[in-house]
Chain A
């Protein structure tokens, strides 16, 4: 058995890959609470628009729907990368990882464009409680997507340099869990923040 996947501790043997997954699921569970607090704050302040524009005036649902579709499809490419890694098809895995990263960057570009449009229409982070809670929630999600893109590119780079060996194949699964989580958070944000406010 690979020494990468096992560690000796107090005379017992622990599967490192299992521990990594436990750690990631604990982290994701805590992230649910974090995003829950941000979504709750948005729901409390969504009607407090002050002198600024409200959701119905500025949200561009067709545009955001396309962004949502892109992020949703990046989950498909991510799971295909994981599937390729599990078959040790590293070349295919790299293709899917880079495709996922590219889709993530397209989503981020869309978010930057959307934010720019909103600012031009008079909604900034200081305009109203609605603006503050909206930008903090979606900005925080965008930061998570950006971190995910970096993780994807780093994993692909490790593979190119031959550092993603059999025992480290778990890295793809861990990155995948994080990426899918970012996607499910957006599924909730898209419904609660965008579709239900127009």
Chain B
């Protein structure tokens, strides 16, 4: 098992990461106002949201640099949630139709 290996980011890195997050947030808002992107706006928003989520968890929460046990504990919830609630949405949204 590989444990803590890499050096953590520097303050300059954190500011750059925050800048990237701010730019993605701006892009998210912008695409909702562009009519031409209506057909792809949902996947675009999900992709950008997932990117922000991954950046914050990886760099600000240091999960990228931490011991594997922390990542696995968090992944349990992260994997279980879409499976569990995807089943709920499918059941009530498609099967029951309400």
Contact = CB atoms under 8 A, between A and B. Distances in A.
Interface of A: 21-22, 25-26, 28-33, 36-37, 39-40, 43-44, 61-62, 65, 68-69, 72-73, 75-76, 78-80, 83, 86, 176-177, 180-181, 183-184, 187-188, 190-192, 195-196, 198
Interface string B44-63: 01101100110011011100
Interface of B: 8, 11, 14-15, 17-18, 21-22, 25, 28-29, 32, 41-42, 45-46, 48-49, 52-53, 56-57, 59-61, 69-70, 73-78, 80-82, 84-85, 88-89, 92-93
A78 B81 contact: no
A33 B69 contact: no
B9 to A, nearest CB: 8
Given A29-B76, A176-B60, 19 more contacts: A22-B69, A25-B74, A26-B73, A29-B73, A29-B78, A33-B80, A33-B81, A36-B85, A61-B32, A72-B25, A76-B15, A79-B60, A80-B14, A180-B60, A183-B56, A187-B49, A190-B49, A195-B45, A196-B42
Chain A interface mostly helix, strand, loop or mixed? helix
